[in-house]
Amino acid sequence: MTRSCVTALMLIGLMVGSWLSDAHAAVGREKLLTEPGVYGTFAVFALDEAWVKQDPAMRIVNLTSLKGVVEQHREHVAIDLYLLRGLSDHADLMFRIHAAELRETQEFLLDLKSSQFGKHLKRVGIMHGLTKQPNYVPEFPDQMKADLQAISEPGQNPYAIVIPIRKSAEWWGLDQEKRAAMMQEHTAATLPYLKTVKRKLYHSSGLDDLDFITYFETSKLEDFHSLVLSLEKVREFRYTRRFGHPTILGTMKSLDEVVELLAQ
């Protein structure tokens, strides 16, 4: 048997193992992804130079350790993977981790770092936030509340975009009524894009050097571009002190897809 046949067989073995474990994975995942009071962490990594230089069979051994760590922690935390390589600066992979307790995320990241795969990871950045009940939507008109119920369909093979945001002290000093009126304008500008852009908001004040992490999924990047241009025109945008820096752009991938891509 040739060396490439052995490598292909190792890869297939890795996939079959994962299909079997997928069957019982993701305990509480739905809850972690939808409920308020959940911590969201975005951890961005680059692969070191030694990664591409290693023997293909060794690469698969290392990827097996990645799968092992993800599967070991999947009962406590919800883990999503994104390929950033080629689209974001100096970064190859992003993990989005949801957990009821931030220490569970820490345990996953520590195990990842000490795995054989983790030895090839260089940390590029990390951000933390918390999901919360909406602050302003309860004060919106009924029609707007109903419009916000529309289900977003990001389409097949969506891109993911992450934009950290910090607002000014002036914004936080305004009374709730004024902020709610401006957030209503924000929402009116975004509604035309609700169908194709799926969003999630994380509150970061005090947990990180930010106020919000905004996360989006869409297969229509042109819509996303127009959405941001519309938002830049509303009054609320004038209170933004940091928008992006970095803006993270990547493609959503399953664990198996990441393994297959990195095995090559």
Active site residues: 199
Contact partners, residue 11, CB within 8 Å, separation at least 6: 60, 259, 260, 263
Report if residue 137 touches ligand HEM, rule: CB under 6 A: yes
Stretch that binds ligand HEM, among 31-39, 68-76, 129-137, 249-257 (CB under 6 A): 129-137
By CB under 6 A, tell whether 201 contacts ligand HEM: yes
Q: Which one of residues 227, 249, 252, 259 is an interface residue with ligand HEM (CB under 6 A)?
A: 227
Question: Of 33 and 165, which has the nearer Cβ to ligand HEM?
Answer: 165
> b/e per residue, 146-161, with b = 16+ CB within 10 A?
eeeeeeeebeeebbbb
Residue from 199, 200, 220, 242 touching ligand HEM (CB under 6 A): that is 199
Q: State in angstroms the smallest separation of the CB of 79 from ligand HEM.
A: 24
130 binds ligand HEM (CB under 6 A): no
Shortest Cβ 174–ligand HEM spacing (Å): 10
The residue from 65, 116, 205, 214 that contacts ligand HEM (CB under 6 A) is 214
Nearest distance, CB of residue 199 and ligand HEM, angstroms: 5
Q: In the complex, what is the shortest distance from the CB of residue 118 to ligand HEM, in angstroms, rounded to a whole number?
A: 31
Query: Taking the complex as a whole, how short is the minimal distance between the CB of residue 96 and ligand HEM, in angstroms?
Result: 16
Closest to 120 (Cα-Cα) out of 43, 44, 47, 45: 47
Per CB under 6 A, does 135 bind ligand HEM?
yes
* Chain residues 143-172 in contact with ligand HEM, contact rule CB under 6 A: 148, 163, 165, 167
Q: Cβ closer to ligand HEM: 45 or 193?
A: 193
Residue 249's nearest CA partner among 128, 141, 158, 131 is 158
The residue among 84 and 227 lying less far from ligand HEM, judged by its C-beta, is 227
User: What x/- string results for residues 167 through 196 when contact with ligand HEM is judged by CB under 6 A?
Assistant: x---------------x--xx--x--xx--
Residues making contact with ligand HEM (CB under 6 A):
134-137, 148, 163, 165, 167, 183, 186-187, 190, 193-194, 197, 199, 201, 212, 214, 227-228, 231
